Chains A and B, each alone.
Chain A
Amino acid sequence: MSASIGSAALTGLLAIPAIGALLLAAIPGYRVSATINAIVCAFTLFCAGLLYSHRPEPSLYLLVDDVNTVFLIVGALVGFTTSVFSAGYIAHELQTKRLRIQDVRFYHAMYQLLMLAMNLALVSNNIGLMWVAIEVATLTTVVMVGIYRTSAALEAAWKYFILGSVGIALALFGTILVYLAAQERLGQGVAAMAWDRLVASSATFDPALLNLSFVFLLLGYGTKVGLAPVHAWLPDAHAEGPTPISAVLSGLLLNVALFALLRFKLIMAGNAAVISPGPMMVAMGLTSLMFAGLMIFRRRDIKRMFAYSSIEHMGIITLAFGLGGPLANFAGLLHMAMHSLTKSAIFFGVGYISQLEGTQRIADIRGLTRSQPLLGWLLVAGVVAIAGLPPFGVFTSEFLLVTSTFARSPWLAIALVTGLAIAFSGLMLRLHELAFGDSGKHHALPAYRLAPMALHLGLVAIAGLYLPPAINAWFRHVASQLG
């Protein structure tokens, strides 16, 4: 019974966005299409929610387990709230003639296509299928980043496209290597690409091939995650694309790529003879943390700054998963979820800010807590949350991460703390310029437009103080699975 509901939900999870994409491609009016977009996302969220309690039978191509359910639900939630935010945002873009009506039509179709691709990447049991899905997701975001057709936007899209393609190529090579390692044991054909079987029997695989493959996968999918030094596309793509897309990129796509990395890490973990992937991930995570933290100091574009903050947090999460162990994995999962919610909330706010102020230059934005108090204070709350101060959830995960790390390798913990402090200082430096001081302007923004942002931050705050036992147990279970 439960399984059948599950399979229905799974079908919905993939079918609904697909139908939505076709539908939205057909509908011209943006009001209608924006509403439909939100509704479709709501249905998708519903299906994702169903999957939490009802699991379908795993097939060779699709698999729903505890791990990807976490990513699915977080992703679907962010996707839904973003679609709500995007409705208002896009309307403004139309008024200001930055987008034409057919752009919007294209945009909505692509939005659903992106949702589809990401859901597929998450639920796919077949590593080849996962690779295809992630490539599709990348291409859709590429065209959405370039949608403004300004020289900067095209340049960003182009950079994203080229680097992304190389990343894809590397990831594919890694995938092929994994298949080669597997087909010795599991025989040729699809079976040797089914993730669950790979994990089950990875102990017997050829370690040398696995080592080699992980190098390519780490760099290939790491490009998508935005880990330094293969991060280069990320800041510009965030800065030049429409803000909803920045929110989706930071809130979802990075997680999906990270999820792919995790899947392969688990395969590696199954084999005793391989060079442990942990240190590599830790190294890249730490590099990204330090690098992004320092880059924040020199940013003049508000969206690009928060994009770097995304790199920083992806670094932290990668570091946590690289460390492994129940505490660190738990911290990583929690941090991932919290970062998705918080960062997308921040981008919602930033979207409104750039629209109200008519600029993304930090130097031109002052005293938001005066010009638009609610928005300003929400931004302050968001930055405080992302910087890892209580009562927000990011603090909880950083607390767990740092305390558990110190016990295992003190120097790493000290480096981690240094990186956190640097990034914190950078963010606060900019926040003081943005939020405080005198601002001649006074912006009118209806409060309900801020509902998605408030919702996210509210969730993060609640999670920081009280994680419901169910979720808590669930995360711990997943953490234990992540080895």
Chain B
Amino acid sequence: MPGRSTTSVTPFLLNQFAAYGVGLLLLLAVLGILVSRRSYGSRVIYGSCALVCSALAGVALYALLAPGSGPAAVELPIGLPLGRTQLGFDPLSAAFVVIVNLTTAIVSAYAVGYGRHASEPQRVVPFYPAFIAGMNLVLLAQDAFSFLVGWEFLSLASWALVVSDDRSASNRRAGLVYLIMATGGALTLLLAFGVLAGPEGGYSFDAMRQTAAFGPAAVVLALALLGAGSKAGLVPLHAWLPLAHPAAPSHVSALMSGVMTKVAVYGFIRIVFDLSGPPSWWWSIPVLIVAGITALLGVLYALMEHDLKRLLAYHTVENIGIIFIGLGLALAFEASGLAVAAALALIAAIFHVFNHSLFKSLLFLGAGAVLSATGERDMERLGGLIHRMPITAFTFLVGCIAISALPPFNGFVSEWLTFQAILLSPQLPQWIPRLLVPAVGATLACSAALAAACFVKAFGSTFLGRACAPAAAAANETDRWSLSAMLLLAALCLGAGVVPGFVIDSLAGVSELMVGGQLAVQSDQPWLRIAPIDPARSAYNGLLVFVMIVIAALLTAMIVRRYASHRLRRSHAWDCGFPDLSPSTQYSSSSFAQPIRRVFGSVVFRARERVTMPRPGDTGRAKLRLDVHDTVWEALYDPVIRFVNMAADRLNGIQYLTIRKYLTLVFAALVLLLVIIGTLR
């Protein structure tokens, strides 16, 4: 149009870039079908995925930070017959696009190297770009139809990746459970949009914002919790997650756990905060309760686990719980008009989304490196890898510290912000949340501490100690691509931990749009510290703490070097004078978890240990039998399955009736209808 300089980057242009990016990814998927069998195929596809994703992340970052970039959606002629597909950024989707694509780009770079281990690339490579495209489509969608198309497309592509190694029955089962639960969630979201759209079907998000939700908004909340929660992995809808995430190839697991669940979080925020009008205060109650249970149960499940990838998957459940605690608080504050507090809680949640996407994918990539080096996922059969793969061990350690919410890494910052939000909750006017929030806070603290325990166990039994299996003893460090990707992620974990102010500031637009409030601009604070409410109230300076630790450590080291003796003798382990025993005597991952299992697990998992000691003189071996129940599955899923099976069995008889009996059915139907007709009038 006249008067606009062609050089200026308009929102519309950005949205167009984004749409092209998605299209490009879909093209890559098609290309993947053709080249996947070639030797170079996987490298080409993964490499270009990395490029496209970084481009998308850049565009989205610009859209997030550039002033005055409001939504001016690209309208595509495709999509719903009764309305056009609209793609575009608003601050929320821009923020999530950045998070998703940043991580995805790095993971794709890892996959360039890791992809070589794939036995059947043609079952992985084509679906990988489709998977990414689906996630971006969900984030960019500005109308219900394309949102759900993206959502289901995403489920479909990731399902194909889960069953990519379909030879193992467990993977097939994982795929089945995953696809069914994902579709169930999508159907509930369908209902939610049905409520929002109303009878004459205003499917664009704008229309939904303008028209008040048809029907009670509580229904929307419930449906959103079910729909988005089932994909995010809220307890008790998490059942598919520990099955599906480990089944996929490790770089895909990283994406599913680190990124895909965040798309679900986005869906929840979009529906509950954006589309379904102003919340009422009690909305926060179910969210907070579910979130607290999720956080605690997730980490406890993880502690019971000795399959490395399953452990990581369960930790995703825990972190989703933490994220939803933040969201629940934000709901409570927003409903009570405490805009700044709401902004704090929301930003804490989204910040944790960002952090978790970083360190969870880092950890899964590390697990992948271990898996490809040893062929083992069972931590009981690993150990001592820190000697064989030092760099992997180092990056994995960084991930462990970050996810355990320990300073100076990023995991701590977001939990610190969440705690700050919790401490603001006495301002809430209602009683129930005021009673609930401290309990939630305790849960949060407890799960953080348990997470630390869990990752001591994970890192310790995987990388430390002595190798428990020849495979672990013969492992070799993984390739350059993978290492550099993991190092990059580790660096990002540290970076986001020491200078969190930038992240918080860049999320200001989101909080403004969603809860109508902002935090003080953090970049104004001296020395890069963050003080969300008021420096006198609470402040944290990650950079300073980090520098101080480093200086203190170096200082100590120097002093010791200067004054201490340098003599160092290698010898057998002391171990209270016991002779050097076989590696099997060292603490395994399940023995490490034993005390915690006895304290918590006996209730939650009905965990029972039975020791059978042979009588003195009897040379038989002693036995320890441990049985742990997945109570959630047994309480919730088994009954449903049993009911469906029972109904199917009952009805199945109808397949085998005789013609006369079928005629009886017809006759009965006829008489019934006639009676109805006869009585209705």
Asked if A413 is an interface residue, CB under 8 A from chain B, the answer is yes
Query: Min CB distance, A230 to chain B, in Å?
Result: 5
Besides the known contacts A230-B665, A390-B156, 15 further A-B residue pairs in the complex with CB atoms under 8 A apart: A163-B666, A167-B666, A223-B666, A229-B665, A327-B82, A330-B82, A389-B155, A396-B81, A407-B214, A417-B190, A421-B180, A425-B644, A432-B163, A465-B79, A475-B81
Contact pattern, A 397-436, Cβ under 8 Å of B = 1, otherwise 0? 0111011111110100110010011101100110010001
Are A396 and B80 CB-contacts (below 8 A) given A170-B670, A297-B648, A405-B194? yes
Are A407 and B198 CB-contacts (below 8 A) given A162-B663, A399-B80, A400-B82? yes
Contact pattern, A 227-244, Cβ under 8 Å of B = 1, otherwise 0? 001101101000000000
Question: Which B residues are in CB contact (< 8 Å) with A429?
Answer: 176
Question: Which A residues are in CB contact (< 8 Å) with B180?
Answer: 421, 424-425, 428
Asked if B627 is an interface residue, CB under 8 A from chain A, the answer is no
Residue of B149, B198, B666 near A229 (CB, 8 A) is: B666
Asked if B448 is an interface residue, CB under 8 A from chain A, the answer is no
Q: How far is the CA of A384 from the CA of B179 in the complex (A)?
A: 11
Asked if A467 and B648 sit within 8 Å, CB to CB, the answer is no
Asked if A262 is an interface residue, CB under 8 A from chain B, the answer is no
Q: How far is the CA of A428 from the CA of B172 in the complex (A)?
A: 11
Asked if B648 and A298 sit within 8 Å, CB to CB, the answer is yes
Query: Min CB distance, A265 to chain B, in Å?
Result: 15
Asked if B184 is an interface residue, CB under 8 A from chain A, the answer is yes
Asked if A403 and B197 sit within 8 Å, CB to CB, the answer is yes
Q: How far is the CA of A59 from the CA of B665 in the complex (A)?
A: 39
A262-298 residues at the B interface, CB under 8 angstroms: 275, 280, 291, 294-295, 297-298
Asked if B81 and A330 sit within 8 Å, CB to CB, the answer is yes
Q: How far is the CA of A111 from the CA of B270 in the complex (A)?
A: 54
Q: How far is the CA of A410 from the CA of B218 in the complex (A)?
A: 14
Question: Which B residues are in CB contact (< 8 Å) with A402?
Answer: 187, 190-191, 194
Residue from the set B198, B677, B680 with the largest chain A CB neighbour count within 10 Å: B677
What are 10 sample pairs from A and B whose C-beta atoms fall under 8 A apart? A166-B663, A232-B654, A390-B152, A400-B80, A402-B191, A404-B201, A413-B194, A428-B180, A436-B175, A475-B81
Are A407 and B197 CB-contacts (below 8 A) given A229-B665, A295-B648, A298-B652? yes
Question: Which A residues are in CB contact (< 8 Å) with B657?
Answer: 232
Contact pattern, B 190-216, Cβ under 8 Å of A = 1, otherwise 0? 110111011111010000000000110
Residue of B149, B203, B644 near A390 (CB, 8 A) is: B149
Asked if B674 is an interface residue, CB under 8 A from chain A, the answer is yes
Query: Min CB distance, B181 to chain A, in Å?
Result: 10
Closest to B184 in A: A421
Asked if B149 and A298 sit within 8 Å, CB to CB, the answer is no
Query: Min CB distance, A281 to chain B, in Å?
Result: 12
Question: Which A residues are in CB contact (< 8 Å) with B663?
Answer: 162-163, 166
Asked if B666 and A219 sit within 8 Å, CB to CB, the answer is yes
Asked if B645 and A297 sit within 8 Å, CB to CB, the answer is yes
Are A436 and B166 CB-contacts (below 8 A) given A211-B677, A399-B148? yes
Question: Which A residues are in CB contact (< 8 Å) with B677?
Answer: 211-212, 215, 275
Asked if A403 and B144 sit within 8 Å, CB to CB, the answer is yes
Asked if B183 and A437 sit within 8 Å, CB to CB, the answer is no
A-B pairs, top 3 by smallest CB distance, nearest first, are: A406-B194, A436-B166, A407-B199
Are A404 and B172 CB-contacts (below 8 A) given A229-B666, A390-B149, A425-B180? no
Question: Which A residues are in CB contact (< 8 Å) with B201?
Answer: 327, 400, 403-404
Residue of B191, B198, B645, B680 near A413 (CB, 8 A) is: B191
Question: Which B residues are in CB contact (< 8 Å) with A58?
Answer: none
How many residue pairs link A and B with beta carbons under 8 A? The number is 174
Question: Which B residues are in CB contact (< 8 Å) with A399?
Answer: 80, 145, 148, 190
Q: How far is the CA of A155 from the CA of B176 in the complex (A)?
A: 36
Question: Which B residues are in CB contact (< 8 Å) with A420?
Answer: 187
Asked if A43 is an interface residue, CB under 8 A from chain B, the answer is no
Question: Which B residues are in CB contact (< 8 Å) with A216?
Answer: 670
Q: How far is the CA of A389 from the CA of B662 in the complex (A)?
A: 34
Question: Which A residues are in CB contact (< 8 Å) with B200?
Answer: 327
Query: Min CB distance, A479 to chain B, in Å?
Result: 10
Asked if A158 and B80 sit within 8 Å, CB to CB, the answer is no
Closest to B165 in A: A436
Asked if A319 is an interface residue, CB under 8 A from chain B, the answer is no
Asked if A408 and B651 sit within 8 Å, CB to CB, the answer is no
Q: How far is the CA of A235 from the CA of B145 in the complex (A)?
A: 34
Question: Which A residues are in CB contact (< 8 Å) with B175?
Answer: 432, 436
A432-447 residues at the B interface, CB under 8 angstroms: 432, 436-438
Residue from the set B81, B82, B163, B183 with the largest chain A CB neighbour count within 10 Å: B81
Question: Which A residues are in CB contact (< 8 Å) with B153?
Answer: 390-391
Asked if B119 is an interface residue, CB under 8 A from chain A, the answer is no
Q: How far is the CA of A111 from the CA of B137 in the complex (A)?
A: 45
Asked if A260 is an interface residue, CB under 8 A from chain B, the answer is no
Asked if A294 and B167 sit within 8 Å, CB to CB, the answer is no
Asked if A70 is an interface residue, CB under 8 A from chain B, the answer is no
Are A437 and B167 CB-contacts (below 8 A) given A294-B644, A399-B190, A407-B198? yes
Asked if B568 is an interface residue, CB under 8 A from chain A, the answer is no
Asked if B554 is an interface residue, CB under 8 A from chain A, the answer is no
Asked if A472 is an interface residue, CB under 8 A from chain B, the answer is yes
Asked if B576 is an interface residue, CB under 8 A from chain A, the answer is no
Q: How far is the CA of A275 from the CA of B172 in the complex (A)?
A: 50
Question: Which B residues are in CB contact (< 8 Å) with A387?
Answer: 183
Question: Which B residues are in CB contact (< 8 Å) with A395?
Answer: 149, 152
Residue of A391, A403, A475 near B203 (CB, 8 A) is: A403
Asked if A407 and B194 sit within 8 Å, CB to CB, the answer is yes
Question: Which A residues are in CB contact (< 8 Å) with B169?
Answer: 437
Asked if B172 and A407 sit within 8 Å, CB to CB, the answer is no
Question: Which B residues are in CB contact (< 8 Å) with A436?
Answer: 163, 166, 172, 175
Asked if A334 is an interface residue, CB under 8 A from chain B, the answer is yes
Q: How far is the CA of A404 from the CA of B82 in the complex (A)?
A: 12
Q: How far is the CA of A298 from the CA of B191 in the complex (A)?
A: 29
Q: How far is the CA of A170 from the CA of B649 in the complex (A)?
A: 31
Query: Min CB distance, B199 to chain A, in Å?
Result: 4
Asked if A163 and B81 sit within 8 Å, CB to CB, the answer is no
Question: Which A residues are in CB contact (< 8 Å) with B680?
Answer: 275
Question: Which A residues are in CB contact (< 8 Å) with B188?
Answer: 417
Query: Min CB distance, B567 to chain A, in Å?
Result: 60
Asked if B669 is an interface residue, CB under 8 A from chain A, the answer is yes
Q: How far is the CA of A334 from the CA of B80 in the complex (A)?
A: 12
Query: Min CB distance, B678 to chain A, in Å?
Result: 9
Asked if B655 is an interface residue, CB under 8 A from chain A, the answer is yes
Asked if B647 is an interface residue, CB under 8 A from chain A, the answer is yes
Closest to A473 in B: B81
